[in-house]
Structure 1
Amino acid sequence: MATALNNRSTGSSNSTDSDRIEVVSDEVSRNVSPQPTIIPISLGEYKRKDRRQYHRPYASSSNRIVQKCGRNNVITTDVPEKRFRYFKDIGNTILNTRWRWILISICVANAIAYVIFAGMWMLIAVINDDHDEERRGDYPPCIYGTTSFTGYLLLSMTTLSTIGYGAQFPTECQPSWMVLTLQALTNVAIEGALITAVFVKMSKPNNKNPLKMFSRKAVISMRDGVLCLIFRIRDLKGKHWARTMIRAVLIKRRNSPEGEPLAYYFENLKLEKQGLLLWPLEIVHKITYDSPMWTMSPQLLYKTRFEIMVILEGDSITTGQPSQSQTSYMNKEISWGYRFVPCVSYDKEEHNYVIEDEKFNEITECDTPLCSAQELSGILDEATRPPETFWDTHSLLSTPISRRSESSMGSGHFRFPSFRLKKDLDGLPSERTFYNRQFSGATLETINSVENLLASDTNLNNDKKENEKRLLSTNF
């Protein structure tokens, strides 16, 4: 079977065919018409075809300050004498190094010490003529039991690890005890610096499985009549149960009143008091007038880029060692109009509380106003304002309702200005909700002139006089 590749490019008249190759199968033995197979070779078509079909569960870790795993995504560049600074503060350098490098450093340091001191022991043996008994004469050798480099290496390892001498051992000659003392000091330095660093690194505050301790997403929903930002925290191993402290910091861009752009501005979020971390807790931040999210609506939530960093600190109830865990939530990881599904239940048969791990990150939709907390507060203030404080919005008069008589007003109702409760997020028309307050046979639409206002004042005075006469007659 012969295969021919024919380019179907016809010039500028057909630009789409220039990016394709026609594969034709030519069968000589059979009179079968060739069936062409079109293979796209355009880079754009290949990328569109190979594009991932799933949606990423949360924002990328490359554009955030704190990654979901708790690691800081911050590096320092252009530092003068950067390498010298690491050796100058060798203690913090070792503690901030990853575990793999600490273990490798311990092995390399011990191996180098073994080889160096093995060479020193061999040099002492050569100088003292331990290998030549005739030249040494009646003087005892400095090292017994070996004449090869392997034996001196074993002697060095025995001395450095202080496990006790066997067949190879040094004598009381002067070079031997000098090298022995130097090797003992080297052992103290290596064990004291690197081995101690291992224990200190194990006990220092560090991130303890933040992906399992914090919920993947945060939600915004109504709680106790207030919009709240809510996220979940749990600590099943009890590493933060003592002296627990939880902090949340909002990181966003901001311009100062003087016009100075602040690329990364930190604002603390006030959190409600939380209980014990016996089971998953919902940490609540009420979006009130003093909250940085007071003016944030669903549209701004998905358009404005910001990051909320959450830090959990506490001591272990078993060892008393402090621990610290942190994570962050990008604006795309906050779901508006959702709440967490309860994950703690009581088992009546076993008589204990059960934590359902699969429901820790599960959220469900709930009724939530699609407006900012500031707009919602204005709507509630208008709806709950007493009648005597309302003003006429139809007749361009600024006279309170309390000065109008019901006799000068016809029956009807008062209609508040409309407020948008559902934002146009999906390109659909917005829905409007009108708040109506019914008055006793009065409406502001009838008061549309100064004459009606004067008449209402006259009727009000007459009603007052009649009420006074009735009171006097009843008293007498």
Structure 2
Amino acid sequence: MEERRIHRNRLVTKDGHCNIEYGHVRYSNRFAYLLDLWTTILELRWSFVMFLFTASFLFSWFIFSLTWYWIAYSNGDLWWQYPSADHNPCVINVYGLTTAFLYSLTTQMTIGYSIRVITPLCPDAITLLVIQTIIGTIIKSFWCGIIISKFSLPKKRAKTINFSETAVISPKDGALCLQVRVANLRKTLMVGSNIYGKLLRTTITPEGETIIMDQIKIDFLVDAGKDNLFFACPLTLYHVIDKTSPFYEMAVDTLQQQEFELVVFLDATDESTNFFCQVRTSYIPREIMWGYDFFPIITRSKDGTYCVDFSEFARVVPVLTPHCAYCSNSP
């Protein structure tokens, strides 16, 4: 029950999804989803996408089969109309609804069995053939684009970038720092990386207004800076807890009593696909460990190769740490 309550209190889940529901959306706003049909379909689950994929083809085949049936009926080609032996049909071997459906399918999918062939005697049939060919090409192109785009969504690439399950607070270069570890599981580099954070908490303004989701910017650094990181191996990001930090007034015995959520963002571009993606995760007070540091996971072998041991990615070790940030700065 406690785990469920914590999950509901998160705005951003550990895997980066936003835990938010939209209520009382006006009907006119819902109609906007249909106007942006491409994005709407891309955001659907694969099961719904495949259902719509199949349904669109079946529907178009059936609608055109009814039209072919009507043309055959108008020309007296149907079997129950008893055409004469020297009768010239619009489409050879289309004499019922089933054969009309089969001809519609083979025409739109360009299968070309040559069993059912259009004749040059019916202008309406020739016009319908052109229309169905164009519409069939549009449908196939649309779904080809949808499936390729869905396979290559940047959020799939984001799943191969991992944040540590916990954050730690420990000294670094003489200052108390909040640290987070992040790793790229692929050898393909992420270029133009930018890392930052947002502290979400409820605040009350001097005017008495309650801001439920007040956002405070949290700067994260690595030893080389904070922009355009060289993301070839796991990085430890750190936020210096100085007098401008919202963590400055917190201490080891008061941290768990706080109510806030730290959301960490990584914006980067994959060098192989040139797709921009954003990876995010969040930490609540119980996931921040005071007085711990991350265990080193990068070693160098005898042949000069750098090795990363991901089995120790989440491991932390206790270190000597001041009880509060202002304690470490006091004389």
- TM-score, normalising length: structure 1: 0.63
Amino acid in structure 2 at the alignment position of 1:70: G
Quick one: which of 196, 199, 212 aligns to 1:263? Answer: 212
Task: Choose which of 273, 278, 292 in structure 1 pairs with 2:246.
Answer: 292
User: Size of the alignment, in residue pairs?
Assistant: 323
Conserved in 2, the CA contact under 8 Å of 1:219 and 1:230?
yes
1:311-342 CA distance string (max 9 Å, x none): 22212222222222211111111111110000
- 1:143 is paired with a residue whose SS is coil
Residue of structure 1 equivalent to 2:286: 332
Name the structure 1 match of 2:299.
345
How far 1:114 sits from its partner (Å)? 1.6
User: Does the CA contact (< 8 Å) of 1:66 and 1:309 recur in 2?
Assistant: yes
Change (3 A) 1:211 1:318: closer
Indicate how the Cα distance of structure 1 residues 205 and 247 shifts in structure 2: closer, same or farther if over 3 A, else same: farther
Structure 2 unaligned runs (5+)?
Answer: none
The equivalent residue for 1:78 is: 24
**In 2, distance between residues paired with 1:342 and 1:304?**
29
Residues 1:370 and 2:317 aligned together: no
Compared CA separation, residues 207 and 305, structure 1 to 2 (3 A): farther
Displacement over 6 Å in runs of 4+:
none
Distance 1:261 1:239 in 2: 45
Question: Which of 99, 102, 116 is the equivalent residue of 1:168?
Answer: 116
Query: SS of the counterpart of 1:298?
Result: coil
C-alpha change, 1:112 and 1:247, in structure 2 (3 Å) is: same
1:199 maps to 2:199: no
Q: Which residue of 1 aligns with 2:184?
A: 235
Q: 1:283 aligns with which of 237, 244, 251?
A: 237
Q: Match for residue 15 of structure 1?
A: none
**Bigger radius of gyration:** 1
Q: Does 1:121 align with 2:68?
A: yes
CA deviations 1:375-399 (Å, max 9, x no partner) are: 432x2xx3xxxxxxxxxxxxxxxxx
Contact in 2 for aligned 1:238/1:317 (Cα 8 Å): no
Residue 251 (structure 1) shift: 0.8
Q: Which segments of 5 or more consecutive residues in structure 1 lack a partner in the other structure?
A: 1-50, 383-476
Matched residue of 2:155: which SS? coil
Question: Which residue in 2 is equivalent to 1:150?
Answer: 98
Alpha-carbon distance change, 305 to 143 in structure 1, aligned in 2, over 3 angstroms: same
TM-score (structure 2 length as normaliser): 0.88
Please point out which of 159, 182, 186 is paired with 2:107: 159
Equivalences for residues 61-460 of structure 1 within 5 A: 61-81=7-27, 82-131=29-78, 135=83, 138-172=86-120, 173-206=122-155, 208=157, 210=159, 213-238=162-187, 241-272=190-221, 273=225, 275-348=229-302, 350-371=303-324, 373-377=325-329, 379=330, 382=331
Please give the alpha-carbon distance, in whole angstroms, between the structure 1 residues aligned to 2:58 and 2:20.
35
Residues 349-385 of structure 1: CA deviation (Å, up to 9, x unaligned): x4311111110011111111112x13432x2xx3xxx
The percent of aligned pairs where both chains have the same amino acid is 29
Structure 1 Cα separation of the partners of residues 32 and 264 of structure 2: 31
In 1, the alpha carbon distance for the partners of 2:286 and 2:246 equals 17
Q: CA RMSD in A?
A: 2.5
Contact 1:239 1:314 in 2 (8 A): no
How many Å apart are 1:74 and its aligned residue? 1.5
Give how far 1:209 is off. Answer: 5.2
What do residues 248-282 of structure 1 show as CA deviations (whole Å, max 9, x unaligned)? 11111112232221110111111112542211110
Q: How far apart, CA to CA, are the structure 2 residues paired with 1:347 and 1:211?
A: 25
Quick check: 2:160–2:184 contact (8 Å CA) kept in 1?
no
**Conserved in 2, the CA contact under 8 Å of 1:70 and 1:210?**
no
Offset at residue 162 of structure 1 (A): 2.4
